[in-house]
Amino acid sequence: MSSHAPRIAIVGAAGRMGRTLVNAVTREPQATLAAGVVAADSSLVGADLGELAGLGKLGVAAGASLAAIADEFDVLIDFTNPATTLANLAFCAEHGKAIVIGTTGLADDELAELDGYRERVPMVFAPNMSVGVNLTLNLLRTAATALGDEGYDIEVIEAHHRHKVDAPSGTALKMGEVVAESLGRTLKEHGVFAREGQCGPRSGEEIGFATVRAGDIVGEHTVMFATEGERIEITHKASSRMTFARGAVRAARWVAGREAGRYDMQDVLGLT
């Protein structure tokens, strides 16, 4: 375990989530904002991260690559895209860094590549860093175990802003996986991700997904357990990206100095 406030670097520091992460790190007395990275061809290379985040000067300049800041940080926070995340994971393995990954939309082969680093890098990988969402996952395990095999239909409904590029969201998929595992099912066999035309009645074991993309919705997820006569809905709504950023900083503090391994927010929160 690390005995000091970990030095945190943020990749994609000029983006919406990156700026929120900068803000979150500066609010955490047990962590230090040490570095940040923006696109190599960006006009913002060299800009002060505090000014990018609307905080005023912090004296930390945006770098053009991880190589340029390799000696300046202990833990990297990455909410980018699958290809960038995997490249950054390789960098962390080579340079002895820990990493917190909030990137979603990884394909099966990309997930397998990520998992291949579990013995080389201390990583926290979770589709949602929110403390509330991770508590919700525990509620879903309880509900699925009690209701799922008793004639309750299960549907997962999620909504995000118009800029989100993957669907269903990583959080929705994680919720579906938790429900499926509790019932001895798999999303590969029982997940239904589209309904159109004469698709027929639903089967008793399918887990349905519905996706909304609109406006500036930060993130809303509902898992519905419905049967004749009643409907139970477990819902989490996020109104600010700061919810995810605070969780990511908490994960960065937790993973600093730990042994190599693939951890998630359930580990960070002591819910495993």
Quote the DSSP letter at residue 61: B
160 part of the active site? yes
Distance CA 234, CA 38 (A): 38
97 part of the active site? no
Phi, then psi, of 35 in degrees rounded to 5: -165, 165
- Burial class of residue 1, CB neighbours in 10 A (0-12, 13-18, 19+): exposed
Number of C-beta neighbours around residue 132 at 10 A: 12
> Which position among 57, 161, 163, 164 bears the catalytic label?
164
Q: Are the beta carbons of 248 and 21 closer than 8 angstroms?
A: yes
Quote the DSSP letter at residue 68: G
Opening angle at CA 53, ends 46 and 60, nearest 5: 40
Q: Is 124 helix (H, G, I), strand (E, B) or coil?
A: strand
Chain-centre distance for alpha carbon 116: 19
Distance CA 213, CA 17 (A): 18
Quote the tokens at residue 51.
């000014």
Strand order in the sheet with 62-63: 62-63, 32-37, 7-11, 75-78, 98-101, 122-125, 261-263
Opening angle at CA 220, ends 215 and 225, nearest 5: 135
Distance CA 110, CA 205 (A): 28
> Which position among 160, 174, 221, 236 bears the catalytic label?
160
Active site members: 160, 164
